[in-house]
Structure 1
Amino acid sequence: MKFLMVLFAVLGTVICAPLPEAAPEIAVSSGATVDGKGETKTDTYMDNADANKDGQLSIDELLEASGSFLPFDVIIDAFKMADKDTDSYLKGEEVGAALEEAHLLATMEIAKVTAADDTDENGKISGEEAKNATDIMTNPEHFEEDFATADADKDGELSGAEIITFIVLQQSKRLSGDNDAFLKPADNDGDNKVNLEEVTTAVKGYTPKAVIEEAFHQADANNDGFLDAAEHLLYKQLEGSLIAAAFNTSFVEVDEDMDGLLNLSDTLKLAESLQIDGIDGAFVSTYFDLASRSEATLIDQQEAVEFLTTGKTGIPQLFEEFDKDASKTINSDEASAMAVELALDAEPFKAAFAAVDKDANGELSPFELRAALVDYDQKSAATAAEASA
């Protein structure tokens, strides 16, 4: 059994905003930028991106060339717009048109983020504003590092193309990890691609049914009924955005008093609306009191998202399996059994246990257990990175 945690920023209503008067140059590949007029060295871009040297670009080649510089949804939308003959390849003038469209879409994303999240209205996004963003899905583990990297002028805030850089940095590490962890196990027939049935089985228990289908069909760029590695990365990005959108819509509908908090009855309605396989009324009723990060009887939107989308692979399942005395806490003996079952290194996990056990009572609450697992994962990843360096 593998512990999965899905972290989302609380997303709000999309806010349309006018484009900046001076659109920034945005990188589209190594050494190539677009200025909004299609003025980039298309020939050079083609030489670098055309991996099989057939004189045209597939969506996979475009994703490989630009996926480290532009959000995947921007790339796919630009590809579809430029592919006028709908032959699933870009050639000739279509390449320049795709780059220009990618710049336009990225510039619109910058304007949207700035309008929605720039709470002090200074035209820039501070670290605190990014953490509280309504439309940026963040990767907390690498947040500070990626923010510093994206902040090219080192003024402590993001503006223009820096915002796109930050979004891509945050997405790429999370998506790449998700790709390795998800795609290979889901590929039951070993053909290096997954169909809708394989995807549905793999995400059972934490993704709304409608989101699975919509994200799959949008990501299937060549419409062959399968997702290869590049398309799956796009799927993961789309899935996250669509989950957030589904939660936004359903949360507003069930939060009748509009206080931003849900009780058990509200959460049951939310689960019914989202239709996440396995997350039914019985599950929600049994584990609702584990959804809150505190002792509160109400949960906010972030807690609702984490509770319903980690589902049976998250904190509730761990308590069901290892909380032998039904105390709603995990003691040191239960934690040791958990470490064995999850194949965790015993000593580092004991250290993580002690680090989050702030009241030193020898037991972890659901919130503390979550923190201990995150702490363990982060330190394990850092240790592995040092060993491979």
Structure 2
Amino acid sequence: MASNLKRRRHSRIKREMKNKNSKQGHSELIPDIEKEIEDTFELIDEDGDGRISKQEMVKAASLLGFNPTSEDADAMIKMADADGDGFINCKEYCAMMSQNYTTKDQEKQALQKAFQTLDKDGDGFLSTDELRTALQFNSDITDDEIDIFFMDADKNGDGLIDYTEFIESTLCVSLF
């Protein structure tokens, strides 16, 4: 009987996700991400009532290494609680998480575009010359500072900055 209830709830979650995406005009999420969102909702919703309580939210946040106060938990619930009932239902959770994934995708695309713009020769790497050219607009930055930025970003010491080194560098944070 418990597995039958879980299957019905899982089917309801999938329907709510599809309805949310079609009604709100969100782009379809990759099926693996959609499944991941559904699975996390089920994990957080420990009592299986189809909604996340303040206590369940605090426990989930604690498991992730956070130590939310009661006020923090109230703020988290309020942020996603569209119907104002004091809980996060599956539809609200999916909407909130879909927004997070969309924002991350947009940030990733912006960083890729920035890297491609700086990579003048299109070889997939930034050289010191490309970096110097990009930073010439700011006369306050010295050649020594550019060299320091470059050495900091070039983690493998090959004299070039690849995309991964770029996004993990203080250079990227400084520029964007």
- Scaled by the length of structure 2, what TM-score is found? 0.46
User: Which has the larger helix fraction?
Assistant: 2
